[in-house]
Structure 1
Amino acid sequence: MKKILGLLVFILMLNGCDDGDLTIETIDFTNVQAGSCGETIYKLNGNEVLYIKIPESLNAFPNNVTPLDTPTTIAIGGTVSVTYRAYNGAVTAANLCNTPAPISPIATEEWIATSGTIQIATIAVYSSPDTTTGATKILKYIHNIVFKNIVFSKPSGTQVYETFPFGEYSTTATTLPMNFDPDDIQICPSNQLLYNARTNGIEGLYIQNFDATLLDITNLGVAKTGLISSTTNKLVYRLFETALTTSNQDYFCSAILPTSPAINEEWFAKDGVADVSGIIEVVSTTNSPGVYLHTITLKAVTFQKDNNTFYLGDSILLGNLLTAD
């Protein structure tokens, strides 16, 4: 009798643990590096793959730092999908990126996310400061991807994760050449725009609403300084998609800067702080009778685009400008 009673209790315990679903399974790709092909971001782990597909039109991974605790959020569903697959053999990128997909290996299980959100927090990764100028460059952007309240539909039922870390996905930053010759510096006839750009070059560095009093020749050899701001001495860097086809003067000295060539990157220097940062220093000397040499230096300048910044350097020579009486 005791044996029968014990068996009944054991059966009741088993029934009490059964919530109607089959055994919960877990997947973990935390320590796997992400790759990409087209609109697909994926992680491969032996015979398993976890991938996200987001249309390029949503611009999910722009090279732009997200504000603290304010990630980009994208709803799962429709054209945005998250899928887990297990195969009967090792998986390669060809299984995801090639069309048509290879015949082998064969998917033995598939989980498809039916709801949830994708959160993407982006940071910039910088170079070490230059040993001479202290300048830094953005090398790449790291996008940390987390699924929130994601629900997978799988052969045995559903799988729910309140928080599921997908991990990091990296994109390369655009290289800014910053390849300027100090002797290429020029000033427009109106004296309101100072620029440095190479003939047929793909970049330009210029100062709008330039304070022409910095070129005053009353006190030769004495440094004159002005602050960068959004109104006076507005310092701008442009990287073009193609080289300038007009003369530099025709481009930079136009009443309105031309729309061609298209701009790939545009950065604005942050407003200066007296004796601290964002300083334009000019030292004027006599070059020859009636001709003056103005050595123009940018000090402690930081550039900004959207939420991104980089440090130009402690002291960068913008150019050696010649003017005549």
Structure 2
Amino acid sequence: MKKLLGLLVSVLFLNGCDDGKLTVDTINFDDVAANACGEIIYKLNNNEALFVKIPTSENAFANQPTLPNAPTKIEIGGSVIMKYRFYNGKVSSDNICSLPAPISPSATEEWSASAGTIEITTTAVYSAANATTGALKISKYNHHIIIKNLVFAKPDGTNQKYESFNFGDYLTDATTLPLNFDPILVAQCTATPTIYNARNSGIESLVLENADADLIQNTGTVTKSISATTNKLVYRLYNTALPNTLSDYFCGTTPASPTIKEEWIATDGTIEVVNTTAGGFVHTITLKKVTFKKDNSTFYYGDAVIYGVLLTN
């Protein structure tokens, strides 16, 4: 009986190999991290490679969380391709990303996707909370890729079908927001209800637009809620540097340059102003429990962050 079992195993093994070529029945890259080169997202696993190529015009991996149960959907076909390859040696990124590809190792088997819907669910990945303020910043975006009703055309003329194929996760870096404001740089416009904090030749600003008329007092403590109209708090990141004369930029008609790279608007939180005297009047402005939002992305500014120390006469 043992001899018979051994013979059967040998026959199965021989049928699975053909002059060093492996007959592939299933593919599994669950534990492999995804990388990218250009429009290609790929996974490598020893002698195997799996990749999708999606044109940049599809905006498939935008740093923008998708809504619940509403993934980005892209049909395979035309310039959207997906392939699986088995090589006769350990594969590297050069085999996928370089043109021409290295002579060795060479692909001994290739499956090409003939149909399927790529579904991408994007979520924000946050860095560890700031130990002092509790602030939470977005560090990356995770794009979870599933292909529904996937059909691979195999070289033997048959098809390999998957109702739901888990390609896995692909990470992209979030835009770095410096959020580096000096409290002594806060200033107030004289002709408009605007308070701003920015640096000469800096690339970011934090602006309180349409500030409440009784926010700045001579004495006492004033607390106001942030809203979309009165006390509207806006963070902006610019493509190029701000001018040296900041009052001209923030207190008049906004110039065309610098252009805005990202704009985040506070959706909740409070403004606390402690008003004291020291020769003139000193107004210490603190932002409490502020959350900023841009499209579907949000970040938490912190439990209590000093926005500025404003001096008036």
TM-score normalised over the length of structure 2: 0.90
Contact 1:24 1:159 in 2 (8 A): no
Provide the C-alpha distance between the structure 2 equivalents of 1:282 and 1:238, rounded to a whole number of angstroms. Answer: 22
2:254 counterpart of 1:265: no
Provide the C-alpha distance between the structure 2 equivalents of 1:245 and 1:191, rounded to a whole number of angstroms. Answer: 19
AA matched with 1:282: V
Q: Which moved more, 1:34-43 or 1:97-106?
A: 97-106
Which deviations, in whole Å up to 9, do the C-alpha atoms of 1:187-216 show, x marking residues without a partner? 112241110001110100001111131112
Which deviations, in whole Å up to 9, do the C-alpha atoms of 1:47-86 show, x marking residues without a partner? 1101010111111011111122211111111111111111
Provide the C-alpha distance between the structure 1 equivalents of 2:56 and 2:243, rounded to a whole number of angstroms. Answer: 31
Matches within 5 A, 1:1-325: 25-156=25-156, 157-217=158-218, 220=219, 222-255=220-253, 257-270=254-267, 272=268, 278-288=269-279, 291-324=280-313
Provide the C-alpha distance between the structure 1 equivalents of 2:24 and 2:100, rounded to a whole number of angstroms. Answer: 33
Contact 2:76 2:118 in 1 (8 A): yes
- Offset of 1:173 from its aligned partner? 1.1
- Offset of 1:286 from its aligned partner? 1.5
- Offset of 1:254 from its aligned partner? 2.2
- Offset of 1:24 from its aligned partner? 8.2
Provide the C-alpha distance between the structure 2 equivalents of 1:172 and 1:243, rounded to a whole number of angstroms. Answer: 23
Provide the C-alpha distance between the structure 2 equivalents of 1:109 and 1:216, rounded to a whole number of angstroms. Answer: 76
SS in 1 for 2:103: coil
Aligned-pair identity in percent equals 56
- Detail structure 1 runs of 4+ shifted over 2 Å in the superposition: none
Contact 2:183 2:309 in 1 (8 A): yes
Provide the C-alpha distance between the structure 1 equivalents of 2:124 and 2:275, rounded to a whole number of angstroms. Answer: 39
Gaps of 5+ in 1: 1-22, 273-277
AA matched with 2:212: D
Provide the C-alpha distance between the structure 1 equivalents of 2:270 and 2:236, rounded to a whole number of angstroms. Answer: 20
Q: Equivalent residue for 1:4?
A: none
SS in 2 for 1:180: coil
Which deviations, in whole Å up to 9, do the C-alpha atoms of 1:250-306 show, x marking residues without a partner? 211123x33322222211100x3xxxxx10111111221xx2111111011001111
Aligned length, in residue pairs: 290
TM-score normalised over the length of structure 1: 0.86
Which deviations, in whole Å up to 9, do the C-alpha atoms of 1:133-176 show, x marking residues without a partner? 11111111111100100111111211111000000100111111
- Offset of 1:246 from its aligned partner? 4.9
Q: Equivalent residue for 2:16?
A: none
Contact 1:141 1:171 in 2 (8 A): yes
Contact 2:47 2:88 in 1 (8 A): yes
AA matched with 1:287: A
SS in 2 for 1:95: helix
Gaps of 5+ in 2: 1-22
SS in 2 for 1:214: coil
Which deviations, in whole Å up to 9, do the C-alpha atoms of 1:228-260 show, x marking residues without a partner? 1111111000111221135211211123x3332
Provide the C-alpha distance between the structure 1 equivalents of 2:145 and 2:74, rounded to a whole number of angstroms. Answer: 11
Provide the C-alpha distance between the structure 1 equivalents of 2:271 and 2:284, rounded to a whole number of angstroms. Answer: 10
For the pair shown, the structure with the greater C-alpha radius of gyration is 1
Provide the C-alpha distance between the structure 2 equivalents of 1:243 and 1:39, rounded to a whole number of angstroms. Answer: 31
Provide the C-alpha distance between the structure 1 equivalents of 2:273 and 2:46, rounded to a whole number of angstroms. Answer: 62
Provide the C-alpha distance between the structure 2 equivalents of 1:191 and 1:296, rounded to a whole number of angstroms. Answer: 18
